[in-house]
Homo-oligomer: A and B are copies of this chain.
C-alpha cells in the first residue's frame, strides 16, 4: 500500500459523498448488499472466458488493468458503505474471521512425508 488515505478516511469520504447527493434513502443495507454483489459480478465478468493463465496477466494490458482497478474500487466502496450504514467494523470482523480460520484449517508448512 502507498500513501493513499486509510480505510477509515475513505469510508468517511464515501458517507459524505452519498449525503451530499442525498442518496441515503437508496442506501438501505439490502440495496447496498445487492449493489456490492452486482459490482463483484462485474469484476468476475472480466475473467469469465479467460484461462487460469490468461487471468494471471490481466494487468499487462492498460485498458483491462484500468477496468479491473475500477471494479475493485466499486466493490470496496459498496462494502464500506454497507458497513457504515450498519455500524460494522469491517477490519475487526476480518481480524476475527482469520482467527476462526486459523483454528479451522490446519497449517501445512512442513513437507508431507
Contacts and interface: CB of A to CB of B under 8 A. Distances in A.
Copy count, this protein chain: 4
- Interface size of A as a range: 35 or more
A21 B93 CA distance: 22
Given A6-B91, A74-B97, A90-B73, A28 B43 contact: no
A86 B68 contact: yes
| Interface of A (DSSP majority class) | helix
A44 B34 CA distance: 6
A50 B77 contact: no
A11 B36 CA distance: 20
Interface string A47-65: 1111110011011000000
A97 B109 CA distance: 39
Interface in A66-96: 68-70, 72-77, 79-80, 82-83, 85-96
Contact of A88 (B22, B40, B72): B72
